[in-house]
Amino acid sequence: MREVPVVQKVLKANDLLAEKNREEFARLGLFVVNLMGTPGAGKTALLEKTFDMLDLNAVPSAVIEGDIATTNDATRLAQKGVQVVQINTNKFGNACHLDAGMVQSAMEDLDLNQAKLLFIENVGNLVCPAGFDLGETARAVVLSVTEGEDKPLKYPVIFRSADAVVITKSDLLPHLNVSEQTIKENIGSIQPKCKIFTVSAQTGSGMQQWLHWLVRHEG
Amino acid sequence: MREVPVVQKVLKANDLLAEKNREEFARLGLFVVNLMGTPGAGKTALLEKTFDMLDLNAVPSAVIEGDIATTNDATRLAQKGVQVVQINTNKFGNACHLDAGMVQSAMEDLDLNQAKLLFIENVGNLVCPAGFDLGETARAVVLSVTEGEDKPLKYPVIFRSADAVVITKSDLLPHLNVSEQTIKENIGSIQPKCKIFTVSAQTGSGMQQWLHWLVRHEG
């Protein structure tokens, strides 16, 4: 509506910075995953389990952690032996998403020369982050089974942009009136080409396929 | 950041329309709840159970349903015998929130002369809807126990604006490593004055207190 022309200008500025980030990521040989999903989808828990199971000597990893407020998630991830830098968007008008400029600033606080994997954990939001290219190599949308079956249909923009969807909290499926198959069909109807992983960060179920995808792609 | 001045201008235009909505709601004697929460928090399920348990002859109710895409939720709610009108924000640049102008348009398709309660189910998003006054009488944030304990701390803006928080899916608590008490303490630390309800739309647990709050306030 009346916001659109302005938003387009902001996006253009963002795209230029994203392109610079992409060049820098390529120079460093980094595989960079923009991890998006709603608050409480299990993005941080997925990363914790990923770092528990990954050989971090072979695949040194880092995280840029985006939140409106608190350093809770950065603190959790730093305990896993990876480099973490926090972006709090309450310093940027409580922004509902990360943008390429924020990522560029955060990179100054990371030593990425040895790193092979960089995760950018976006602000919890299934809408706005989709519009902002960060220069990432791949986009992964995290969707918990507790969110119900129809979210890909109701929030198509972010799913359309996904290279991978990670269905989380699969250990809760027995307690829910939700079909994993229907979730997958709904994802497929929006974005037939993306990889789909079903995992539980509690039990480790399905994590190997996700790790395989990450490691196959890195550097 | 660079978006802030523009956003402020948009908000000012919104506030003028919200004030008009508020006057119209007052004239109609309507209690209007702006229902906000992340995708999959259980906003629609809460409304379904609310309409199942409410005496709709005594408290005629209506819903303005906000989604980026699909009419799934409107269809679910229309089956409960309430008036429903759908706003799909994919017609408004995939807007991540409802604004007062959209609500004003939607009201043209509702006959609110007999109604006592109007729910405005916002787009699933724990960030952006907080910034947009719709002219509502009260704001209720829906937070499911599956989202974890720290969401009020990580998304403080929306919780600070809440008159009520409805903690949903309490039937799943036995399967989660989550404390209801900690969620409540975290809400209280951000917004000590808001009412907190813990409900399960599956079992009906806790729903009476929520209904009591709605009916005590209406008209």
Three-state SS across A37-95?
ECCCCCHHHHHHHHHHHCCCCCCCEEEEEEECCCCHHHHHHHCCCCEEEEEEHHHCCCC
B16/chain A closest Cα distance in angstroms: 15
A101 has a chain B CB within 8 A of its CB: yes
**A133 within 8 A of A100, measured Cβ to Cβ:** yes
Q: Tell me what pLDDT residue A6 has.
A: 66
CA–CA dist A124, A90 (Å, integer): 14
B10 has a chain A CB within 8 A of its CB: yes
Chain B: residue whose CA lies nearest to A124: B126
Q: Tell me what pLDDT residue A219 has.
A: 43
A10 has a chain B CB within 8 A of its CB: yes
Contacts of B12 in chain A (CB under 8 A): none
- Residue appearing with tokens 């509702």: B110
Contacts of A10 in chain B (CB under 8 A): 2-3
Question: Going residue by residue through chain A (219 aa), what tens digit of pLDDT does each one get?
Answer: 445 566 677 778 999 999 999 999 999 999 999 999 999 999 999 999 999 999 999 999 999 999 999 999 999 999 999 999 999 999 999 999 999 999 999 999 999 999 999 999 999 999 999 999 999 999 999 999 999 999 999 999 999 999 999 999 999 999 999 999 999 999 999 999 999 999 999 999 999 999 999 998 754
Contact B40 A147 (CB under 8 A): yes
Can you list the residues of chain B whose pLDDT is less than 70?
1-7, 218-219
Contact B96 A127 (CB under 8 A): yes
CA–CA dist A187, A175 (Å, integer): 22
B4 has a chain A CB within 8 A of its CB: yes
Q: What is the DSSP letter of B98?
A: -
CA–CA dist A157, A131 (Å, integer): 8
* Torsion angle of the four alpha carbons A143, A145, A146, A151, in this order, in degrees rounded to the nearest 10: 50
B71 has a chain A CB within 8 A of its CB: no
**B33 within 8 A of B117, measured Cβ to Cβ:** yes
A3 has a chain B CB within 8 A of its CB: yes
Contacts of B172 in chain A (CB under 8 A): 146, 172, 175-176
Residues A190, A194, A195, CA angle at the centre, nearest 5°? 135
State the DSSP H helix or E strand holding residue B153, giving kind and residue range, or none if neither: helix B151-154
Q: Tell me what pLDDT residue B9 has.
A: 74
DSSP of B51-72 = HHHS-TTTS-EEEEEEESS-SH
Contact A7 B93 (CB under 8 A): yes
Chain B: residue whose CA lies nearest to A1: B92
A12 has a chain B CB within 8 A of its CB: no
What are the CA-CA distances from residue A31 to residues A100, A165, A217 (Å)?
16, 17, 7
Over residues A108-118, the pLDDT tens digits come to 999 999 999 99
Chain A: residue whose CA lies nearest to B168: A146
ipTM of the complex as predicted: 0.91
Over residues B88-144, the pLDDT tens digits come to 999 999 999 999 999 999 999 999 999 999 999 999 999 999 999 999 999 999 999
B7/chain A closest Cα distance in angstroms: 8
Kindly report the number of other CB atoms within 10 A of residue A114's CB atom. 9
Nearest residue, CB atoms, A94 vs list B125, B157, B169:
B157
